[in-house]
Amino acid sequence: MEPPPAPIRTSLAALPPAARAHLVANLAGRGPLPVALARRDDDAALPVFAVVLTGVAALLGHQLLIRDLGSLVGDYALIGPTAVACLTVMTTVAALAIAGVVARRRQIARLGFRPGTYLLGAFVVEAGDQLTIEAVARTEVQTYPNGGGYALELHGDTATYRLGVHAAGKLRATLHGLERAVANHARAAAAGATAEAAMWDPLGATRGDVDADRVVLALPPVGAARRWLIAAAIAITATPTAAWLHNRVSDDRMWAQVDTAYAARRYLAQGGRRQAAATVRLHRLALDEALAEGSVSALRSYLVTYPASPHGAEAGAAIHARFAAALAAVRAGVSDPVAMPAVAALLTHLEASGVPTVAVHFTPADVTGLAEVDAAMAEMAADDGDTAAPAAPHVSPAALAQREVMIAQRLSTGLGAVVPGDIVTLAVTATAPPPTAPSLEVRYRVGPMVSEAGVMTYAENDPAGPPARRRTYVGLRISFDVTIAVPGAAPFTLPPIEVEPPDTFEVEFMAPAGFAAAAGAMPDDDVYETMITRAFDHLDRALGRTLVGAAPAIR
**Residue 245, domain member (yes or no):** no
Over residues 504-513, the mean pLDDT reads: 67
Q: Is the pLDDT of residue 509 over 70?
A: no
pLDDT (0 to 100) of residue 245 = 92
Q: Report helix, strand and coil shares of the chain as percent, to nearest 5.
A: 50, 15, 35
Q: pLDDT per residue over 325-356, tens digit each?
A: 888 887 877 667 777 888 888 889 999 998 98
Give yes or no: residues 265 and 193 share one domain. no
Check pLDDT > 90 for residue 398: no
Place 313 in a pLDDT band, splitting at 50, 70 and 90: very high
pLDDT of residue 513: 52
**Cβ atoms of residues 27 and 19 within 8 Å:** no
CA-wise closest residue to 159 among 118, 124, 119:
124
Phi/psi for 116 (5° steps) reads 165, -165
Tell me the pLDDT band of 265, cut-offs 50, 70 and 90.
very high
Whether residue 337 contacts residue 418, with contact meaning beta carbons closer than 8 Å, is answered with: no
Residue 514 pLDDT exceeds 80? no
Same domain, 267 and 198: no
Q: Are residues 359 and 300 in the same domain?
A: no
CA torsion sign for 342, 343, 346, 352 is negative
- Of the candidates 356, 541, 393, the one whose C-alpha atom is nearest the C-alpha of residue 473 is 393
What local confidence, expressed as pLDDT, does residue 553 receive?
33
Predicted local distance difference test score (pLDDT) of residue 4 = 78
Total tally of structural domains belonging to the chain: 3
Amino acid in position 287:
L
Among 22, 35, 212, 187, which residue's Cα sits nearest to residue 133? 212
Whether residues 290 and 371 fall in one domain = no
**Pick from 460, 457, 480, 476: nearest CA to 528:** 476
Per-position DSSP letters for 244-275, written without gaps between them:
HHHHHHHHHHHHHT--SHHHHHHHHHHT-S-H
Is 423 or 276 the better-scoring residue by pLDDT? Answer: 276
Please check whether residue 174 is in contact with residue 36, taking contact to mean a CB–CB distance below 8 angstroms. Answer: yes
C-alpha–C-alpha distance, residues 181 and 135, integer Å: 11
pLDDT computed for residue 124 by the predictor: 94
**CATH number of the domain to which 540 belongs:** 3.30.160
β-bridge pairing 425-428 and 160-165: unpaired
Q: Are residues 309 and 407 in the same domain?
A: no
Residues 6+ apart with CB under 8 A from 147: none
Please check whether residue 129 is in contact with residue 225, taking contact to mean a CB–CB distance below 8 angstroms.
no
Pair (464, 367) in one structural domain: yes
Cα distance from N-terminal residue to C-terminal residue, the chain = 134
Q: How far apart are CA 431 and CA 472, in angstroms?
A: 36
Shared-domain flag, residues 512 and 396: yes
Give the pLDDT band of residue 300 (cuts 50, 70, 90): very high
Please say if the pLDDT value at position 227 is more than 50: yes
Query: Do the domain assignments include residue 316?
Result: yes
Predicted confidence (pLDDT) at residue 214 exceeds the cutoff of 60: no
Least confident among 137-146, 208-217, 224-233, 315-324: 208-217
Which of 22-36, 275-289, 326-340 is predicted least confidently? 326-340
CA atoms within 13 A on the CB side of 120: 29
Instruction: Give a yes or no: residue 109 inside a domain.
Output: no
Mean pLDDT of the chain: 83
Stated as kind and residue range, the H or E segment containing 516 is none
Q: How confident is the model at residue 511 (pLDDT cuts 50, 70, 90)?
A: low
Q: Which residue has the higher pLDDT, 469 or 302?
A: 302
- Most confidently modeled of 172-186, 319-333, 372-386, 411-425? 172-186
C-beta separation of 493 from 482 below 8 A: yes
What is the reported pLDDT for 316? 93
Do 543 and 405 share a structural domain?
yes
Pick from 157-171, 258-272, 500-514: least confident:
500-514
Residue 173 confidence (pLDDT):
92
Cβ atoms within 10 Å of 220's Cβ, excluding its own: 12
User: pTM for the whole thing?
Assistant: 0.62
The beta strands (E) that lie in 130-247 are given as 130-135, 138-143, 150-155, 160-165
Distance separating alpha carbons of residues 326 and 344, to the nearest angstrom: 10
Given a cut of 80, whether residue 436 has pLDDT beyond it is yes
Q: What is the pLDDT of residue 42?
A: 60
Going by the DSSP 8-state scheme, the letter that residue 66 receives in this structure is I
Q: Are residues 376 and 517 in the same domain?
A: yes
Question: Is position 553 within any domain?
Answer: no
Strands (E), 83-212: 116-120, 123-127, 130-135, 138-143, 150-155, 160-165
Q: How many CA atoms, within 13 angstroms, populate the side-chain half-sphere of residue 339?
A: 21
Percent of the chain exceeding pLDDT 90 equals 25
The pair phi, psi for residue 188, each rounded to 5°, is -65, -40
pLDDT of 471-490, one tens digit each? Answer: 888 888 888 888 889 998 88
Q: What is the C-alpha separation between 42 and 162, in angstroms, rounded?
A: 16
| Phi (first) and psi of residue 153, to 5 degrees | -95, 120
Could you tell me if 317 and 358 lie in one domain?
no
Q: Which is higher by pLDDT, 458 or 203?
A: 203
Q: Is residue 489 part of a domain?
A: yes
Average pLDDT over residues 29-58: 78
Residue-level pLDDT at 318: 94
Give the Cα separation of 168 and 501 in Å (integer).
121
Domain residues for 153?
A: 1-9+34-40+117-213
Q: How many other C-beta atoms are found inside a 10 Å radius of the C-beta of residue 207?
A: 20
Q: What is the pLDDT of residue 284?
A: 96
Q: How far is CA 426 from CA 399, 423, 429, in A?
A: 22, 10, 10
The per-residue pLDDT for range 110-150, each reduced to its tens digit, is 889 989 899 999 999 999 888 899 999 999 999 888 778 88
Predicted confidence (pLDDT) per residue in 519-547, tens digit:
445 678 888 888 888 888 887 777 777 76
Residue 506, in any domain of the structure: yes
Return the amino acid letter for 265. R
